[in-house]
Copies of this chain bind each other. A is one copy, B any other.
Amino acid sequence: MTERLIAIYHVTADAGSIEARARGIAVEQSVEMPVEGIDDPFVLDGIVGRVEGIADLGQGRYEVRIALATATIGAEAGQLFNMLFGNTSIQEGVALVDVELPDSLLQAFPGPNLGIAGLRALTGAHGRAITSGALKPQGLPPAGLAAIAGRMAQGGIDLIKDDHGLADQAYSPFADRVDAVMDALGATGTHYFPSLSGNLDDMRRQLRHAVARGVRGVLIAPIIAGIPTFATLVREFPAVAFMTHPTLSGIARIAPPLFYGKLFRMIGADAVVYPNHGGRFGYTPQTCHDLAAAARAPWGHLKPSLPVPAGGMTQARVGEMLDFYGPDTIVLIGGALLATRDRLTEEVAAFVAAVARHTFT
């Protein structure tokens, strides 16, 4: 017997075709060729995907459970995504909604370096949500961004993350930006998570520079950087917190609770940014609830991750967000704080105070 994981898909089909469709997915995500062309017994018994169950969800939708051999993945993070949803992602009417992994496979992935407890120790935020702002707009030089960061720090915010659009542009090179922002933050206690860009070597260089300047966490966009790049950096910088950004990740073909809450966490996300309901993006409250729950839930040896609901959040929503998410959350307000211009420090202070005094019911 070879060891298997279970990949769970939701498939749109009719009753007469769902069995063939399920077998098709099992083949597509394993040997990707007609099974009748295979005579090797190890491949037939140990590698070909197996349909483990089909459940009718009603309205022409089915839950399909496929058992895939973990030997096809080894311990490689990119190959994990390839085997779970590679070619099937290009087919219509199918979404990857969950996975069940044997402990041996889960053990091959480190999960978050710091996790919730580590991020709380880092920021000194206990018994309340962690407050966060975003550094932007893109186009400002390092001094301009550092001035904004300094004013947010004066308001007492826990951490400032780069906008994911801040890369290594000529008008704001990564190293100069980190130097300027870290100088501006000084001993305020506010942490800065700069955004990594470029290839693995670029990101290593950026991380080394940042860590040397006292940076304790970074923002990374795994779908642009590449899953293996993200996985490599998590292992090479075990003292650094990694906050993931969902840019370019599309919507709705991998269920967000699985994508961000489980798979990004497996690879090493200490905190996962995602679009909160009621902002500029289309996630439902249920999706957001499930995502946050997945990020925090006990799961093998993995530390829990902090959800970072974002995307058009405002000061007016802080109370509602805290009621919805509870204290194990990073509350991120980006543009709405920056739009207050001259009142930035005071608005940040009010935001910080609102989070501090919130009573969880």
Query: Would you give the shortest CB distance from A215 to chain B, in whole angstroms?
Result: 20
Q: Pick from B76, B89, B140, B336: contact of A250, CB below 8 A.
A: B89
Q: Which residues of B contact A193 (CB under 8 A)?
A: none
Question: Could you tell me the distance between the alpha carbons of A28 and B334 in the complex, rounded to whole angstroms?
Answer: 12
Query: Would you give the shortest CB distance from A28 to chain B, in whole angstroms?
Result: 7
Binding-face segment, A167-175, A289-297, A298-306, A348-356: A167-175
Query: Would you give the shortest CB distance from A83 to chain B, in whole angstroms?
Result: 7
Does A83 lie within 8 Å of B341, measured CB to CB? no
Q: Pick from B34, B168, B311: contact of A76, CB below 8 A.
A: B168
Query: Would you give the shortest CB distance from A335 to chain B, in whole angstroms?
Result: 3
- Interface residues in A288-344 (C-beta closer than 8 Å to B): 311, 334-336, 338-341
Oligomer copy total: 2
Does B229 lie within 8 Å of A199, measured CB to CB? yes
Binding-face segment, A109-117, A121-129, A274-282: A274-282
Q: A165-B32, A169-B72, A335-B34 are in contact. Are A221 and B91 (CB under 8 A)?
A: no
Question: Could you tell me the distance between the alpha carbons of A227 and B224 in the complex, rounded to whole angstroms?
Answer: 6
Interface residues contributed by chain A, number (CB under 8 Å): 84
Q: Which residues of B contact A85 (CB under 8 A)?
A: 248
Q: A138-B47, A221-B82 are in contact. Are A247 and B87 (CB under 8 A)?
A: yes
Q: A360: CB under 8 A from chain B?
A: no
Q: Which of A78, A167, A197 has the most CB of B within 10 A?
A: A78
What would 8 A/B residue contacts be, using CB atoms closer than 8 Å? A32-B163, A47-B139, A71-B171, A76-B197, A82-B164, A82-B167, A86-B224, A89-B251
Q: A197-B79, A280-B91 are in contact. Are A86 and B227 (CB under 8 A)?
A: no
Question: Could you tell me the distance between the alpha carbons of A24 and B32 in the complex, rounded to whole angstroms?
Answer: 41
Q: A198: CB under 8 A from chain B?
A: yes
Q: Pick from B34, B82, B163, B340: contact of A247, CB below 8 A.
A: B82
List 17 extra interface pairs beyond A33-B334, A34-B336, CB under 8 A: A32-B136, A32-B137, A37-B338, A72-B138, A72-B167, A72-B169, A81-B224, A81-B248, A89-B247, A90-B247, A90-B275, A197-B228, A201-B232, A202-B228, A224-B228, A226-B226, A226-B228
Does A281 lie within 8 Å of B90, measured CB to CB? yes
Q: A74-B167, A247-B82 are in contact. Are A40 and B140 (CB under 8 A)?
A: yes
- Interface residues in A182-216 (C-beta closer than 8 Å to B): 197-202
1/0 per residue, CB under 8 A from B, across A244-256: the answer is 0011111101000
Q: Which residues of B contact A69 (CB under 8 A)?
A: 139
Question: Could you tell me the distance between the alpha carbons of A249 and B336 in the complex, rounded to whole angstroms?
Answer: 33
Question: Could you tell me the distance between the alpha carbons of A253 and B250 in the complex, rounded to whole angstroms?
Answer: 7
- Interface residues in A53-106 (C-beta closer than 8 Å to B): 69, 71-72, 74, 76, 78-79, 81-83, 85-87, 89-92
Q: Which residues of B contact A89 (CB under 8 A)?
A: 247-251
Q: A157: CB under 8 A from chain B?
A: no
Query: Would you give the shortest CB distance from A176 to chain B, in whole angstroms?
Result: 14
Q: A239: CB under 8 A from chain B?
A: no
Q: A108: CB under 8 A from chain B?
A: no
Q: Which residues of B contact A83 (CB under 8 A)?
A: 165
> Which residue of B is nearest A166, CB measured?
B72
Does B33 lie within 8 Å of A339, measured CB to CB? yes
